[in-house]
Amino acid sequence: MQGRSTIWFPIALLALLAGLTLWVDRVVQPPQPKIDGSSRHDPDYILSNFNTIKTDQNGNPRHRLAATEMRHFPDDDTTQLTRPRFTQYTADKPFTQIEGQRGLVTSDGENVYFMDNVKIVRGATPQKGELTVQTDYMHIIPDKELAMTDRPVLIKQAPDTVIRATGMEYDKKLGILKLFKRVSVHYVKPKAKTDGSAKPPKKPAPSSSSSSKKNSKPSAQAKQAGKAKTGNTSTRTRR
């Protein structure tokens, strides 16, 4: 019996090691792709002329997202957009619209990215003119009403303000625009408005030269005084 135990023990140990090796090999191997295509980066559906609106608790629109085409990818649950247009609404504030040639929305919808020829337009207010921002990339966080980029931006505000910077962050809730690095500003002070009620200028008073011309002729008394003075002088000269 002791001899048989001695023989079976190495065999059992080898079998255990073989099983452990097979298990480790299966663990380290990448999972096999699913036949439903969810593990590949292929769209599972495509929509044309996509348009969606998110509202608040009272049913008022908060933001609208539209695109000429939308592609959804199941492997990472992201959405790619062609020519996206995002419009954000806030009570008692002007709308803000962002558009670009390409877009990307994360799976939770908390982040929206715009790429290529991005343009942002903020509507005019009674105190401020329309504001436009041009860049190549913009990161939007809709729920926080934030827009940010680390790419060069060109900002124009009506009527004649032009701003350039290498990055920006716009907080729509607070109405604050932050600019980063190499900021240059061209500002033209708007001209004062006239209502047409200004009075015409008064005619200038007659100059002293005209009055002197009128009084240039000597009076009769001055002539007589002149003659008398001449006579006195000649009398003194005779003596």
Whether the predicted pLDDT of 116 surpasses 80: yes
Whether the CB-CB separation of 12 and 18 falls below 8 Å is answered with no
Q: In one letter, which amino acid is 58?
A: N
Q: Kindly report the average pLDDT of the chain as a whole number.
A: 75
92 pLDDT band (50/70/90 cuts)? confident
pLDDT at residue 236, as a whole number: 40
Residues 112/65, Cβ–Cβ less than 8 Å = yes
Tell me: the pLDDT tens digits for 178-220?
998 888 888 777 666 555 555 555 555 555 444 444 444 555 5
Considering only residues 7 and 51, tell me which one the structure prediction assigns the higher pLDDT: 51
User: What φ, ψ does residue 178 adopt, rounded to 5°?
Assistant: -105, 135
Class of domain 45-151: mainly beta
Summarised one tens digit per residue, pLDDT across range 1-34 is: 555 556 666 666 566 666 666 655 555 555 565 6
**When comparing pLDDT for 211 and 107, which is higher?**
107
From start to end of 83-229, where are the E strands? 85-88, 96-99, 102-105, 112-122, 131-141, 146-149, 153-157, 161-165, 168-171, 176-179, 184-186
| % of the chain surpassing 70 pLDDT | 63
- Above 90 in pLDDT, residue 130? no
Looking at residue 75, its pLDDT comes to 84
CA angle, 221 then 226 then 229, to 5°: 125
Once rounded to an integer, what is the mean pLDDT over residues 141-154?
90
Domain ranges of the chain: 45-151
pLDDT at residue 142, rounded to an integer: 81
